[in-house]
Structure 1
C-alpha cells in the first residue's frame, strides 16, 4: 500500500482510539481550543503592534517592541500552530496514538497561554521562567511524536521530527542571546527561525494538500487521486535550508541571490502536483488557495534574490513580509479552515467571506512588502495592512467558532 493510501486510511480509522468518556466540545480534540484562542490572539497581536509602531499606543510593558513582535509572530503563533497540527495529525500520522483530549489537552493550552503572558511581561518576570514556559510546548510535542517516529520502520515522518528539534534548538539559542550568554543578535536568530518555520510549513503542506485535495475530489465524485510528490518538496526544502543557513553565516555574500532564486523556482515546481492527468482542478477554490501559498513563498525568495543584486534600494527585510505576512498568514488561515471543517465532520466549502480573506491577506502582503517605495506613507501602510491582515481571522471566528464549540456534524467523537 502506498504512503498516500495509508495516510487516507489512517484519517478514517484513528477515531477508534479516541478515549472513552464525555468531554466538552472545546476540549474534544487538539485543534478546537487552540483555534478558539489563536484567531483572536492573532487579531489582537497584529493590531497592537501596528498602533504601537505608529506611536498611537505605548507598549510600556515591552522594552524591545520589535523583538516582541518578531518572536510572537513566529514562535508565539507558530507554536500554537504546531500544537494544533500535531495534536490533530498525530493519531493519523502515527496509527495507535491516542488523541489528547480533556484535562490533558487543557493543560497544554494553559502552558501555551502562560508562555504568551510571560513573554509579554518578560521585563518583570525571571527570564528563566519565561524560557521554560516558552520551550515546554515544543518539548512536549517532540516527546509525543518521538516514539512513533522511531518505531516506524519506514521513517515516513522523520523530517517533521527533525524540523521540530531544529526549531527548539533555535528557540533555546534565542533565549541564550536574551540572557547575554551568546553574542548573536536576537533579530538574526529569529530570521534563522523564519527559515526553519518555512521548511516546516513545506513539510506540513505536503500532508495537508494531500488530505484536503483528496477530500475535495471525493466530495465532487472525481475519480482521480492527488499525490504530493516527495522529490519536489524535498528540492524546495533543500534550497530553502541552504539559503537559511548561508544567510545566517554569511549574510552579505552575493551567492545568496542565486540560492534565493533557486528556492523560488523549486517552490514553484511544487505547483505541478496540482496538474492532474484527467481532470483540471486548478481553478477550484481550495486549490487556488493552496497554490497562492506557494506563489507567495516563491515571491518572497524571488524578491529577496532580486534585492541582493539590486544596489539602489535595500528592501531585504521588507521582502521577508512575503514569508511572514503572506505565507505565515495564509498558511494559518487556510489550514485553520481545512482542519476546522474536515475534523468537525463536514465537507470542505468556500464562500465569499473565505475567498475575501485570502485576497485581503495577499493585498496586505504586497502593501507591507513594498513600503520603501512609498516611505512617506509608511505609518498609514502599516496600519492599513495590519487591519486587512486581521480581518480574515475575524471572518474565521464568525464562520467556524460555532463548528469548534459544538460536536462533530457526523456524530463521531472528536
Structure 2
C-alpha cells in the first residue's frame, strides 16, 4: 500500500492514511501543527510583552510568568514536535500517517489546552491543568503504537524523549498548583528537547549535509555515525541529568564541560562550513551549535559565573527554537513539493531566531541594558515566526505542488 493511499480503519484502531475527503490542512500532521505552532509562538510573545508592559493580563490565577514558561515549553513547542513526529514516524516505520478526522481531533485537543490556559480562573486551575495535560499522552500513545507496530525498536529512543516531556508537563502543573516554582519540570522538559535534538539531529544533519556535498560534486563528506557519536550523546544525557538532579556545583560543571567538548567535536565532524551556499542546510549546523554552547552555559551557571536564566534561554531559544524553525522550514518545503533551497525570507527567518537566541541571555548578563535586549530579542522572535507564517502558511494550507 502506498503512502498516498487510504488505510481502512481496523476494528478498535486509529484510522490512518491520507484521507481523500479531509481538508488539505488535515491531510498530514505537519500541516496543522506547524501552522498552529507558529501562530501560537507569535500570539504568546505578544501577550507576554503586553503583560510585562502592563497592557494586558494573562492567566492571573496561574501566574503570568508560569504561563509564559509553560507555553514556551509545552505550548508552541509541543505542536512543532507533534508535527514532526506525525510526519517522520510513518517514514521511519513504513506505516501510513494519521490523517483526516483523527488528526483534526488531535489538533483540537492541543488547541483546547491553549485556549483554556488563557483564563484558568474560568474553569479553575486544576481543570485547566487536566485539559492541558491530555495532548502529550495521546501523542505519546499514537507514536508508541506506530513504532511498536512497525517494529522499529531503535526509534524507542525518540519515544523516551517524548515520555520525559509528557512527565515534565504534568510535573509542571503539579508544582505550580502546590505553589512551588516549577524549576524541576522546566529542566526536565528542556532536557527532553535537547536529547531529541542530539538524537534526531545526529540522524538528519550529516545525512542532509552529505546529500548537499554529493549534489555539489564533492566527496568531503561528514563523518558517519560511530561510537564517538554514542559517547557524545551519553555524555550529554549525563550532563542534563546532573543539571536536573544536582543543579549546581563542580560536578555539574565537570560533566557539562565534557559534553561541551564532545559535542563541539561532533558538530565539527559534520563539516557544516561546506554548506554555506545553502542556508537550508547551514541552519541545521547553526542550531546544533547551541547544543555545546548550551552545555557551556549550564556549566558556567553551575559555577555562578552566569545567571541560570541566561543559560536557560541559551538552550530554549538557541537549541530548541532555532532547530524547530530549521526543521519546520525544510519539512514544509519538502513535503509540499517545493525546491529544497532557502529563499531570502527563509534566510531572514534563520537570522532572526539566531539573533533572538544570542541577545536574550545578554539581558541577564548586562542588567543595565536589559530592557533593550528584551525588546530586540522579542522583536527578533516575532520576526522569525511572523515571517514563517507569511511565507510558509500558504504552503501548509494548500495542495502539494508537483515538481516538474
Q: TM-score range by the shorter chain?
A: 0.7 to 0.9
Where 2:346 maps in the other structure, the secondary structure is helix
Conserved? CA contact 2:25–2:396, under 8 Å = yes
How far is 1:33 from its partner?
Answer: 1.2
Unpaired segments of 5 or more residues in structure 1? 1-9
* RMSD, aligned CA: 2.9
How far is 1:134 from its partner?
Answer: 2.2
Where 2:360 maps in the other structure, the secondary structure is helix
Separation in structure 2 between the aligned mates of residue 208 and residue 132 of structure 1, nearest angstrom: 35
Separation in structure 1 between the aligned mates of residue 57 and residue 128 of structure 2, nearest angstrom: 22
CA change 1:340–1:389 in 2 (3 A) is same
How far is 1:223 from its partner?
Answer: 7.5
What are the residue-to-residue correspondences of 1:84-123 with 2, within 5 Å? 84-95=83-94, 97-123=95-121
Q: Residue 185 of structure 2: which of 186, 189, 196 is its match?
A: 189
Q: Deviations over 1:161-180 (max 9, x none)?
A: 11111222222222222333
CA change 1:243–1:123 in 2 (3 A) is farther
Separation in structure 2 between the aligned mates of residue 265 and residue 235 of structure 1, nearest angstrom: 12
Greater relative CO (CA pairs within 8 A, separation 6+): 1
Separation in structure 1 between the aligned mates of residue 120 and residue 327 of structure 2, nearest angstrom: 30
CA change 1:69–1:32 in 2 (3 A) is same
- Count of residues paired in the alignment: 394
Q: Deviations over 1:130-155 (max 9, x none)?
A: 23322322222222222343355562
Structure 2 equivalent of residue 23 of structure 1: 22
CA change 1:359–1:271 in 2 (3 A) is same
How far is 1:109 from its partner?
Answer: 0.8
Q: Residue 268 of structure 1: which of 264, 268, 271 is its match?
A: 264
Conserved? CA contact 2:205–2:270, under 8 Å = no
Structure 1 equivalent of residue 11 of structure 2: none
Unpaired segments of 5 or more residues in structure 2? 7-16
Conserved? CA contact 2:40–2:75, under 8 Å = no
CA change 1:247–1:149 in 2 (3 A) is same
What are the residue-to-residue correspondences of 1:7-406 with 2, within 5 Å? 14-16=3-5, 18-19=17-18, 21-59=20-58, 61=60, 63-95=62-94, 97-151=95-149, 155-180=153-178, 185-209=181-205, 212-213=208-209, 216=212, 229=225, 231-275=227-271, 280-281=274-275, 283-309=277-303, 314-406=306-398
Conserved? CA contact 2:249–2:303, under 8 Å = no
How far is 1:262 from its partner?
Answer: 1.5
Separation in structure 2 between the aligned mates of residue 377 and residue 169 of structure 1, nearest angstrom: 37
Separation in structure 2 between the aligned mates of residue 50 and residue 297 of structure 1, nearest angstrom: 27
Q: Deviations over 1:7-58 (max 9, x none)?
A: xxx9xx6445644523321111111111222212111111221332244443
CA change 1:21–1:351 in 2 (3 A) is closer
Separation in structure 2 between the aligned mates of residue 45 and residue 339 of structure 1, nearest angstrom: 24
Structure 2 equivalent of residue 7 of structure 1: none
CA change 1:379–1:23 in 2 (3 A) is same
Conserved? CA contact 1:219–1:347, under 8 Å = no
CA change 1:224–1:375 in 2 (3 A) is closer
Separation in structure 2 between the aligned mates of residue 41 and residue 228 of structure 1, nearest angstrom: 37
Structure 2 equivalent of residue 3 of structure 1: none
